[in-house]
């Protein structure tokens, strides 16, 4: 599942509940990977909020999957934005380190 392609082209609410569930699980995996990458890169202050968001997504997967379309879209879209922002921070940090 692509975060910059198909996941953002289709509104999550247009997906079946099982597909939304799979998308949320995928987003949780990406967040876990980002948290690991940020920690390894020394950006430790960003890790606890990411882990907390991951926990909330895990605890609320069923509710988000079956929720009102506006609510579901808002949460999933916000999570994708958070992932993209975190990834950009990690990418910028890697670029800065390779320039030095």
pLDDT the model gives residue 93 = 60
Mean pLDDT of the chain: 83
Q: Which helix (H) or strand (E) holds 95?
A: helix 69-99
Dist. CA 72–CA 87, nearest whole Å: 22
2 falls in which pLDDT band (50, 70, 90)? very low
| DSSP-derived 3-state class of residue 11 | coil
pLDDT digits (tens, 9 = 90+) for 50-68: 999 999 999 999 999 888 8
pLDDT band at residue 28 using 50, 70 and 90 as cut-offs: very high
Reduced to 3 states (helix: H, G, I; strand: E, B; else coil), residue 40 is helix
Q: Alpha carbon of 73 to those of 70, 94, 98: distances in Å?
A: 5, 31, 37
Coil, strand or helix at 10:
coil
Token pair for 48: 């606890």
């Amino acid at each position: 599942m692509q975060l910059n392609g198909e996941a953002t082209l289709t509104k999550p609410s247009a997906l079946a509940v099982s597909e939304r569930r799979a998308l949320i699980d995928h987003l949780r995996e990406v967040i876990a990977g980002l948290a690991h990458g940020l920690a390894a890169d020394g950006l430790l202050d960003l890790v606890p909020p990411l882990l907390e968001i991951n926990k909330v997504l895990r605890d609320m997967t069923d509710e988000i999957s079956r929720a009102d379309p506006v609510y579901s879209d808002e949460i999933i879209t916000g999570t994708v934005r958070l992932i993209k922002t975190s990834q950009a921070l990690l990418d910028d940090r890697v670029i800065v380190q390779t320039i030095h």
